[in-house]
Amino acid sequence: MTAETSRYRQLYPFRRTLQESSVLAELREFLTSSPGKLVSSALVLCLMCLFAGWFTANGQLERTGVLRSNLSDFEPRANASQVLYSSLSTANASANASFISTGKTNDELRADYLAAIATAGRAVVTSATSLPADERSAHASLNTIATYLPVYTGLVETARSNNRQDDSVGAAYLASASTLMQQQLLPAAESFYHQENESLRTSHDRFADPPWAVYGALLITALCILVAQRHLARRTRRNLNLGLLVAAAATTVALLWVVIAGLTSVSFSARAESKGADAIDSLTLARTLTQKARSTETMALVQRSAGAAAPSASFEQSLDAARASLAKVGRSDPAVTVDVDAARAAAGRWAAAHRTITERETLGDYGGATALAIGDGPDSAALAYQSLDDHLTHAIERARTLYRDNVNTARAAIAFSGPSAFTLCGAAIIGIALGYYPRIREYR
């Protein structure tokens, strides 16, 4: 290695640092110059528009995804849990009524029981396959139902076999089945329903408030463009800059679009909760309480037929609680209001029929009480209960339709606002470039 080469290597780092310092100095000098300030201002505004467009599009798409998830995942699961709960209650009431009936009525009640058990089974399968693995409590409730449902149906079949042989032990088997339903199956189904309904509410609450951060990002961007327009007008003594005006108009339109779409979407989302979710909760509670009252009514006759004492009267308590739950249902939808009013009228007829049943039992007219409880006469408890249950079922279906329609409208209201805002922010970037380019070019 020659001395000259060695000296060059020693001086190379110093020369490189000197060159870098020279580049930084030139860059600093450019940025502090008039054209440099214009370029910097244009770049900052373009980056703000790019960020505002991305942030808005991402936020609106996320909100759209929440609503889509409600319709495709959380709401069907909540509905399946409601169907499961109601089907188990219906099965228990039908099994009790079938036990004390004969002839054609028995066949109809038997068919109702089998249909309710089949519906409950399908609901368990549907819920289990769509339930996330991390919801352990919900899975535990389904496991309880899956474990005890075959036991329940086995006890009912045993009771039915003994009853066909006129063996009084059948009533004991049916009482055991009803106890299993009341102490294991229905509490598990109720817990599962509340868990799924809470998941739906939690998901829905994520959409309850408007996207203030999105509004703020677009508003700040629009204001910064207007400030730049004013500053550039004073600097160049030109009142209007067409490019910056286009950019300001684009961001303002994006802001107005997102605000109007967001507020409209939030409004329909709130309507979905008030007209749909809240009504479904009250109607479902009313339906399960009436089914509990029906089970109590028929089980009292089952135990009376076996010579046992009738259980403590909880019929009135369940029916009164159902009426109180119906009173909480709003009257904003005419179709739901008609069904609720009809259900209340049917509950009144049922209560009157039940009082007559109790009177006949007290007088020892067990046959007359049974005929009034499960017969098809115009004043029978069975007819009043069936009318009540039909109206509640129809009201629940209507409330579910209202929920899904309003959520779908809320989703559609913001579906295009995010991509459109991003496109408008892109147009604003073009406007900024076109607005600044002639001014920068003047310094060449």
137 domain residue, yes or no? yes
Token pair recorded at residue 397:
């279906």
> Which structural domain range is residue 170 located in?
42-300+320-441
2 domain residue, yes or no? no
308 domain residue, yes or no? no
Please tell me the distance from the alpha carbon of residue 86 to that of residue 291, in angstroms, as a whole number: 8
Coarse DSSP helix, strand, coil percentages of the chain, rounded to the nearest 5 percent? 85, 0, 15
- Output the tens digit of pLDDT for each of the chain's 444 residues: 555 555 545 444 544 444 445 656 655 654 556 666 777 888 889 999 999 999 999 988 888 888 888 888 888 888 888 889 989 988 888 888 888 776 556 778 888 889 999 999 998 988 888 888 888 888 899 999 999 999 999 999 998 888 787 777 888 888 888 889 888 999 999 899 988 888 888 877 777 778 888 999 999 999 998 888 888 777 666 667 788 889 999 999 999 999 999 889 888 888 888 888 888 889 998 998 998 888 888 888 777 654 444 444 588 888 889 999 999 888 888 999 999 999 999 999 999 988 888 888 888 787 888 888 888 878 888 899 989 999 999 999 999 999 999 989 988 888 888 899 999 999 999 998 888 877 767 665
Q: 170 near 159, Cβ under 8 Å?
A: yes
Is the dihedral angle over the CA atoms 68, 71, 76, 81 positive or is it negative? positive
Please tell me the distance from the alpha carbon of residue 170 to that of residue 92, in angstroms, as a whole number: 15
The radius of gyration of the chain's CA atoms, rounded to the nearest angstrom, is: 36
* Number of structural domains the chain divides into: 1
37 domain residue, yes or no? no
**Structure-token match 């368990």, residue found:** 124
58 domain residue, yes or no? yes
pTM for the full model? 0.80
310 domain residue, yes or no? no
48 domain residue, yes or no? yes
19 domain residue, yes or no? no
Token pair recorded at residue 11:
């001086």
